Amino acid sequence: MTLAKAGHHVIAADRNMQWNEETVAAIRTAGGQADAIEIDMSSAESIHAAFAKAKEIGRVEILVNNAGITRDGLALRMKPEDWNTVIQINLTGAFLATQQVLPVMMKERWGRIVNIASVVGKSGNAGQANYVSSKAGLIGLTKAIAQEMGSRGVTVNAVAPGFIDTDMTAVLPAEVKEKLLASIPLKRLGTPEDIANAVRFLCSEEAGYITGHVLDVNGGMYM
């Protein structure tokens, strides 16, 4: 919604087409432009097909890699499939999606790629070896592609959210929330709008001299 308000034609891409259609409907109701495409970030074939459809709609100038799943568990007992699935979707999927947009961005000598990392990709977190590794890897990917694409006018940055007020955090016990808030200098959870505004800035012309950067949006919980 935030990028649509900034004048961008948004492609809502997810495995859940109901979510895609609801997002598109909300954007169009608000006067923006949007389309929905189904994509499975664990499948190279699905990623290729989805971007082929997106390119039929128009030139892809901005890519926001925000797919992410968790399969938490202590490393000692983590199943190989839980490791592989999280790495495949959170990191490999982002890499494959990035590959799809680079040729056009290089040709046009303009592009914005924003990867949604996580505070735990910098701080670490017990019980999330797979998720932490995927997000730390995403930060490394951001810096590598930024160096490769800088001379072509393509910026590549990451946003590292802290704890955000979503359905996932809403179910946390009160004592867990209190402990979280005690670790956050701003004394509140972030909002989805906090993250969206950071993404919008990194996609703007005003951020044209920023690349390879990880923007922490975490209320100060990790510095």
Q: For residue 48, what are the contacts with CB-CB under 8 A and spacing of at least 6?
A: 96, 100
SS3 88: helix
DSSP string, 110-152: -EEEEEE--THHHH--TTBHHHHHHHHHHHHHHHHHHHHHGGG
Q: Distance (Å, rounded) from C-alpha 98 to C-alpha 115?
A: 10
Write out 50-61 in H/E/C secondary structure.
HHHHHHHHCCCC
Residue 86: φ, ψ to 5°: -65, -45
Looking at residue 76, its amino acid is: L
131 is catalytic: yes
User: Pick the catalytic residue: 20, 51, 115, 131?
Assistant: 131
Nearest Cα residue to 5 out of 36, 25, 30, 26: 30
Distances (CA, A) of 186 to 125, 165, 180, 182, 217: 21, 14, 11, 9, 11
Phi-psi region of 37 (alpha: psi -120 to 50; beta: other; left: phi over 0): beta
Sign of CA dihedral 64, 118, 165, 173: positive
Which sequence positions are flagged as catalytic? 131
